[in-house]
């Protein structure tokens, strides 16, 4: 029973990450109707998303630490209740400042309560196929743009933005609360890390882990990886339009990236289990950097689609591997706190890209330097990742 229940944990995790992240990112769908109805500036409404990223970083660390102490179920249950409440409240406000506070802070805090805790829960349930299981949980984020966003658009068309956001909040309660109640701690002794294997995190304090070379390399690689791809992802539609691609076709490029990310998560998860996480991660980071630079040489829709498949599959595929590395280096006891801290660094990296891209375009009326800079940062992520110690289970090394 325990062995089969691990896949229930994976399914629950995939559902929760899909609904939570999909609800948060649906702000892009609400942007135009909110602005038209309230006369709030689009920059003011969009700033709620910037707050989301910043709050998610802090929240990921906080929820990860809470998972280590109280277990994943209570954390995701609180997140489920808070997410629905935040969306319902945001749908009723008539002040931009209050909207920014509720959507930017509360939604971001709630959305961050699922990824790190469910990754921690999943790694505890799996010994074999751990990379694949973690990748399937994170695949929920890739499904979100193809499910929650179209649903939000349909609701807005059928009703109005306030009703649509209210219904999405209620839907979050209906889907997330039962899923949260399915989450359980892994039974003691279910997972064996191998005879004689000394997991680095066993007996280590959080402070010692944060001072280790393993965490320093993990956090900096995660930060640089997200900083490299966030700008090209966020500005891809605008860049394609600047290259002469029609607006609706340009939007479809983003959709292709998201779809490719689903396949990438599965492929990289399987490769991580078979070949080892470190070499697969480094190869993925290198491919990501090369593809970012290659966008400077394309102008036709078919060429954009081809690169979108590789780019989406690569950045989607490498993301879950950081959690597997963190588990190998630090063990299950402090994984929530350590991976939460690494996630916080990745969110800070994600926040840089959109701002940098906007600044570059405003200054040069071109995205060329955004893609050049992002490719260079991507190569920096490869260089940092090469510093990972070759044996994840060996004793932690001081930074």
How high is the pLDDT of residue 390? 64
Say which DSSP state 397 is in.
P
CB-based contacts of 221, cutoff 8 Å, min separation 6: 281, 285, 322, 381, 384, 385, 388
- pLDDT at res. 220: 94
Domains of the chain, with CATH numbers? Answer: 2-181 (1.20.1250.20), 206-385 (1.20.1250.20)
Structure tokens at 315: 């950045």
Can you name the residues that pair with 398 across neighbouring β-strands?
A: 212
State residue 237's pLDDT score.
76
**What per-residue confidence (pLDDT) applies to 140?**
76
Which pLDDT value is given to residue 34? Answer: 87
Q: What is the pLDDT of residue 197?
A: 42
**What is the rounded distance in angstroms from the CA atom of residue 342 to the CA atom of residue 329?**
13
pLDDT value for 198? 44
- The reported pTM is 0.76
Q: What is the pLDDT of residues 238-270, one digit of tens each?
A: 788 889 888 778 777 877 887 888 888 888 888
Mean pLDDT, the chain, integer: 85
Chunked in runs of 10, what are the mean pLDDT values of the chain (399 residues)?
A: 80 91 82 85 76 85 88 94 96 93 92 88 83 81 75 87 95 96 81 47 74 90 92 82 82 79 85 88 95 93 92 89 86 83 86 78 85 95 89 51
């Amino acid at each position: 029973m325990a062995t089969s229940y691990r896949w229930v944990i994976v399914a629950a995790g995939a559902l929760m990450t899909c609904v939570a992240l999909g609800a948060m990112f649906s702000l892009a769908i609400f942007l135009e109707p909110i602005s038209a109805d309230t006369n709030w500036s689009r920059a003011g409404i969009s700033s709620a998303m910037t707050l989301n990223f910043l709050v998610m970083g802090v929240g990921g660390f906080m929820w990860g630490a809470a998972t280590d102490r109280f277990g994943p179920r209570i954390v995701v249950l609180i997140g489920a209740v808070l997410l629905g409440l935040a969306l319902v409240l945001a749908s009723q406000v008539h002040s931009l400042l209050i909207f920014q506070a509720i959507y930017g802070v509360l939604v971001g805090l709630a959305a961050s309560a699922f990824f790190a805790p469910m990754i921690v829960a999943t790694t505890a349930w799996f010994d074999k196929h751990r990379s694949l299981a973690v990748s399937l949980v994170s695949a929920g984020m890739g499904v979100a743009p193809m499910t929650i966003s179209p649903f939000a658009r349909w609701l807005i068309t059928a009703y109005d933005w306030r009703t649509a956001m209210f219904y999405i909040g209620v839907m979050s309660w209906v889907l997330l609360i039962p899923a949260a109640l399915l989450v359980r701690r892994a039974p003691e002794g279910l997972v064996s890390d191998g005879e004689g294997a000394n997991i680095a995190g066993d007996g280590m304090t959080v402070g010692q882990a944060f001072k280790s070379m393993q965490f320093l390399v993990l956090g900096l690689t995660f930060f640089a990886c997200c900083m490299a791809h966030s700008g090209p992802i966020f500005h891809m539609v605008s860049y394609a339009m600047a290259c002469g691609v029609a607006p609706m076709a340009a939007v479809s490029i983003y959709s292709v990236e998201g779809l490719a990310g689903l396949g990438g998560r599965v492929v990289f998860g399987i490769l991580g289990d078979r070949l080892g996480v470190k070499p697969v991660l480094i190869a993925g980071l290198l491919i990501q950097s090369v593809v970012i630079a290659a966008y400077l040489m394309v102008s036709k829709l078919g060429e954009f689609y081809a690169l979108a498949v590789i780019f989406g599959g690569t950045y989607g595929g490498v993301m879950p591997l950081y959690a597997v590395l963190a588990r190998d280096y630090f063990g299950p006891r402090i994984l929530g706190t350590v991976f939460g801290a690494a996630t916080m660094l990745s969110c800070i990296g994600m926040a840089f890209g959109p701002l940098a891209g906007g600044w570059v375009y405003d200054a040069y009326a071109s995205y060329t330097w955004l893609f050049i800079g992002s490719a260079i940062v991507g190569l920096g992520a490869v260089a940092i990742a090469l510093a990972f110690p070759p044996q994840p289970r060996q004793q932690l090394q001081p930074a």
